[in-house]
Every structure is written in structure tokens, then in C-alpha cells.
Amino acid sequence: MTLHEILKQSPVVPVIVVHDENDAVPLAQAILQGGINVLEITLRTSAAFSAIQAIAQQVPEAIVGAGTVLNPYQLRKARDAGAQFAVSPGLTDELLTAAREDQFPFLPGVASAADIMQALQFDFTTVKPFPIELLGGIKWILSHKAVFPHLTFFPSGGITFENMKQYLGLEAVAAVGGSWLTPVDLIKRKDWAGITALVERTLKGC
């Protein structure tokens, strides 16, 4: 599936931190049950690669991606574990080269016009402004869209249930990412029904 097709699946992509790989499958199922089939497992814990693998193998209806990808090694390890896309908080020539070589759906993180220019040099036209609320929120997107009219954005960092609609109302925004759908305490308590309810509430509020 292309990046464009993946981002068309859901207006909101849950950004997830998994500490226990055994939580991965019930968590993905809870999200699917709520109505979202794209999710991002961040590579911030030692459980992340096994979590991606478990979801890819056991929950085939879910499109699982890897987040917080920092280098080509992680990009390829995530792909081999079954990730269908990758997201990074920033961008490097090495990552952009690897993703382009592999033709792997990749969302480079950007925080400036210079970053966007670097992404464009490698033909990436969909970028992740991060952390968008600190960068300037909606105004940041509008002012950069004016300069780079062919760009599509997948903002994250500070997006919440309360402000997501403002972002989703912008034509240049393909989807948004956020961690509010999978709070650490709900995962810890294995409150899968609570996560399904959060996903349902989010989709109703979009």
C-alpha cells in the first residue's frame, strides 16, 4: 500500500508506546474495534519490534507502522518485522536515501522550511511537522503550505481530541497523529474497552 493510500484509511493515527509485547495484539484489536485500522508503534521501548511483528502476523486487518525511526537500520528492521510504513521525528539524508531506495512508505519529520527542502530533494512530498503545537500549530501549516503548495502534512505532537478538528479541516492535512487514543494508564490496566471507546469518541468528533 502506498503512503497516500495508508493515510486515506483514517483521519487519526494512534501513536503508541508499548512496554509489554503481550499488549500489542489486544491493543491493536481494540483500536480496530473502535474503527481505526492504521496505527503507529513507536520504537521507544525494547518491546516495539516484537509488538510490530505480533500485530503484523496476528492482526492482518491492521496496517501497522513504526514510529520514532531514527536510522536506516531501524527502518529496515521495522519493515522486516512487518511494518507497512515508517515515521520519524526528524530527517537525515541516510534515512531519506534508505526509504527511497526501498520505496518504503516514509513520513519524514520536519520543523522548518529547510527540512521541507531537504525532504523535497529526495522526492518526499508528504511530511510530518513535529511537534506541531510548539512549532505554531495551524498557522505553521498554513504559512508553509503557501510556500510549498504541493505538500501534504501529517502533523503530530500536541494534537488532542480538543484541537484535532482544526487540523483535519485543512485541505493540506492528510491525517493527524496523536497519543491521546492509547493512554499509558489504560494500556497498563489492559482496559481495552476503554481504548475502543476513546477511538469511537475520536472518530465521532472528527
Residues classed as catalytic? 40, 128
| Residue 23: DSSP 8-state | G
Our CB check for ligand 3PG shows the closer of 130 and 192 to be 130
Query: What's the one-letter identity of residue 56?
Result: A
Rounded CA-CA distance 201/206 in Å is 9
Our CB check for ligand 3PG shows the closer of 25 and 70 to be 70
The b-or-e profile of 19-29 (16+ CB within 10 A means b, else e) is eebebbbebbb
Q: Which residues pair with 65 in a beta bridge?
A: 40, 85
The b-or-e profile of 35-62 (16+ CB within 10 A means b, else e) is ebbbbbbbbebebbbbbbbbbbeebeeb
Our CB check for ligand 3PG shows the closer of 29 and 156 to be 156
- Least gap, CB of 194 to ligand 3PG (angstroms): 17
Contact residues: ligand 3PG, CB under 6 A = 15, 42, 67-68, 89, 130, 156-159, 177-179
- Least gap, CB of 125 to ligand 3PG (angstroms): 19
- Least gap, CB of 184 to ligand 3PG (angstroms): 10
